[in-house]
Structure 1
C-alpha cells in the first residue's frame, strides 16, 4: 500500500505516470476507460489451467507448503503428457475469442 491507501499498481504516482505516457489509452479502474468486469484478456491460463489445477491439487487438501508445491508439480507433469486436454483448452480459448470478436467486445456468456 502506498500513502494514498491504494495498492502500488493503482497509486496516484503510477496512474499519473501511465496517463503521461499513454494519455487516454490507459484502461484501469477509476480511469477514463474503466477495466471491464470480465476482461477481454482471454488466455488458456485464465479459462483452464487455474481451475484444472485447483480441482486436481485439492482433491485432498495439502498439509504443507512443500506438499502443495509437490502436488502442483505433479499435476503439471500429468498435464504435459495429456496433449488432448491442452489442445481442447486452446480450442476453447479460440472459441471464446471468436465470440468476443462477433460481439465487438461486448459481454460473452461462457
Structure 2
C-alpha cells in the first residue's frame, strides 16, 4: 500500500474508506444506549468503481472467503484489506481518515449541546454534522492521510514493512 500511495500522486483520493462508529443519545456508549443506523446500500456507479479502491474495515466477519470473493467481483480486485490484493496494516487507526479525523470531529459537533434521550434528535444531529463538512476539510483529511503514509515510510517504522505490497500480513 505504501509504495502505491507514494508512487501514485492521486491514489489516496480514490479510496472509499469503510468503518463504523457508535453514537448514543446520551453521549455515553453502552449496550443499553446504542443506536444503529442503516448502512449505505448503494455502491458508487460502475464507471467510478473501476478507478476507486475500497478499503475494507477490520470486522472479523468481513474476512471470510465469501466476502473477499464478493469484493474481488465488485471491485475488480481494487480493494484494500487483510488478504486482499492491496494489503493494509490491521488495527491502524492512526492511518485511517475515519478514525483519525471524521468520527471525533462529528462527535464534537453532535455532542456540543446536551441531547435529550431522543433517537430522532440524534439522527438529525448526525445528518447535520455530516452536511456541515466542507470540501476543504475533506481534502485536508485526505492530504493528511497521504502525509501519514509518507511519514511511516520515511521513519522506517514497523508500518513501513507492512505497507509494502509484497509483504503479506499474517
Who is 1:94 aligned against? 146
Who is 1:68 aligned against? 122
Which ranges of structure 2 fall in alignment gaps of 5 or more residues?
1-59, 66-81, 84-88, 160-170
Query: TM-score w.r.t. structure 1 length?
Result: 0.56
- Equivalent position SS for 1:70: helix
Q: How many residues align?
A: 81
Who is 1:31 aligned against? none
Which ranges of structure 1 fall in alignment gaps of 5 or more residues?
1-8, 11-16, 19-25, 28-34
- Equivalent position SS for 1:59: coil
Distance in 2 between the 1:72 and 1:52 partners? 11
Distance in 2 between the 1:55 and 1:46 partners? 14
Q: Runs of at least 4 residues of structure 1 off by over 4 A?
A: none
Higher relative helix content: 1
Structure showing greater Rg: 1
Query: TM-score w.r.t. structure 2 length?
Result: 0.38
Higher relative strand content: 2
Distance in 2 between the 1:41 and 1:105 partners? 13
